[in-house]
Amino acid sequence: MQTSYSSSRILLPVRPWFIGFTLLVALLLNFLPTAALPAIPDWLALVIVFWSIREPRRVGMGLAFLFGLAMDVADASLLGQHALAYVLVAYGGLSLSRRILWFPLGEQALQVFPLLLLVQIVQFGVRTMAGADFPGLSYFLGPCFATLLWPLLTFVLLLPQHQPVDRDANRPL
């Protein structure tokens, strides 16, 4: 079985401030007014999935719950809607992390797609139980677009962890 590009290289340890920074950037991206564009992914869910797979000891269900509550308050949605979805997706990422990292990036994206779809389904279910109308099938395009972005997101978020190439190691004696 072929390993992914990022798992075949030795990476430096991730810095906790970088994880927090990427989660805050994803939260801010979710605040952008994108109601007219249905295919915009849930950036925070995507980054939570990424870090819960890559760093399961640092990003877990507690952090996902806190960011979910922040998203609920900022979105003025039903309190707990995002929190529940993010906790479930963090749990899925934590429990499948070793399996997902075994695959190349393209297949990782296919493994992550059901997790991202779960976020949309849970949020849709909570909204429907509260009496909201059906938002249309375009509501479920976000996870498809996020799945396509998975290889690029992986490359960008792992970039600070790549070790510089040691030029002296390849020089002949």
Domain that holds residue 20: 16-29+39-159
Does some domain include residue 1?
Answer: no
Chain centroid to Cα 105, Å, comes to 14
- Among 12, 13, 47, smallest CA distance to 27 is for 47
Which amino acid is present at 32? L
Chain centroid to Cα 62, Å, comes to 15
Q: What is the pTM of this model?
A: 0.84
Task: List pLDDT tens digits, range 136-166.
Answer: 888 889 999 999 999 999 999 998 887 666 6
Tokens representing 125 are: 């279910």
Output the pLDDT for position 132.
Answer: 84
Output the pLDDT for position 12.
Answer: 76
Task: List pLDDT tens digits, range 65-80.
Answer: 999 999 999 888 788 8
Tokens representing 161 are: 């962890």
Which secondary-structure segment (H or E) carries 30?
helix 16-31
Does some domain include residue 10?
Answer: no
Does some domain include residue 6?
Answer: no
The answer to which of 9-13, 88-92, 98-102 has the lowest mean pLDDT is: 9-13
SS (H, E, C) 110-154: HHHHHHHHHHHHHHHHHHHHCCCCCCCHHHHHHHHHHHHHHHHHH
Does some domain include residue 85?
Answer: yes
